[in-house]
Amino acid sequence: MSLKAEDFNKIFDAVIAKYHIVDDVNQPFENVYDAASLEHLLYRKCWIDTVQWHYEDIIRLPEIDPIEALALKRKIDTSNQDRTDMVEYIDSYFLQKYAEVQPKENAKINSESPAWAIDRLSILALKIYHMAEEVNRPTASESHKAACQKKLDILLEQRVDLSTAINDLIADIENGDKYMKVYKQMKMYNDEELNPMLYNKK
């Protein structure tokens, strides 16, 4: 049975809740799903996003030591690369899953692949979790809570809309109404052969 966006959201919510039991960027990670499954990729993807969310919080501390900040920036760069890699793994899953589907003569390509849309859904789950925290924060003012509730309502509506769009996209690919064409990200700044600041040091 094919997973739907609603299933993706449940996985993302579970990952985020699991992370916050310990709430430490250095905590060990254990994937609860079979390595060959889409769920495994989604779980790993959201864990990377969740840790990076908290890296981004930490690096904005005004009193952070510059040396620690630089080390953390390196971790964020690595996390960004891991995130991109996971998106490409997820797209590879869909490419393989629908490899035998023959696109219709009038089939169109989508502006983004399924995995990049799912990437936005993972980030949205994090926004929802942390905005809900603000709504319920005991030390926050009532005006702060009310403002955050309005934002939370919009985020929840956005998740419904994005989930619907993802389901429609996957159905269109499955039916041959759209086809997948995935471009690798070809990031340059981490590559010693492409970043002049790195290759000029050799």
In a domain, 202, yes or no: no
- Please answer whether residues 52 and 39 qualify as being in contact, where contact means their C-beta atoms are separated by less than 8 angstroms: no
199 falls in which pLDDT band (50, 70, 90)? low
* 82 lies in some domain: yes
* Residue 128, in any domain of the structure: yes
**pTM, entire model:** 0.91
Least confident of 13-22, 87-96, 120-129, 188-197: 188-197
Residue of 5, 12, 49 whose CA lies nearest to 33: 12
Quote the mean pLDDT of the chain: 94
Map residue 117 onto helix, strand or coil.
Answer: helix
Average pLDDT of 82-100?
A: 95
In a domain, 199, yes or no: no
Total number of domains in the chain: 1
Q: What percent of the chain has pLDDT over 90?
A: 88
Does residue 126 contact residue 81 with C-beta atoms inside 8 Å?
Answer: no
Q: Is 173 in contact with 16 (CB distance < 8 Å)?
A: no
Question: 3, 37 in Cβ contact below 8 A?
Answer: no
Tell me 179's DSSP state.
E
pLDDT score of 185: 67
Look at residue 136 and tell me if it is in a domain. Answer: yes
Query: Is the separation of the CB atoms in 188 and 194 below 8 Å?
Result: yes
CB atoms within 10 A of CB 123: 17
Q: Residue range 97-103: average pLDDT? A: 96
* Domain span including residue 46: 5-191
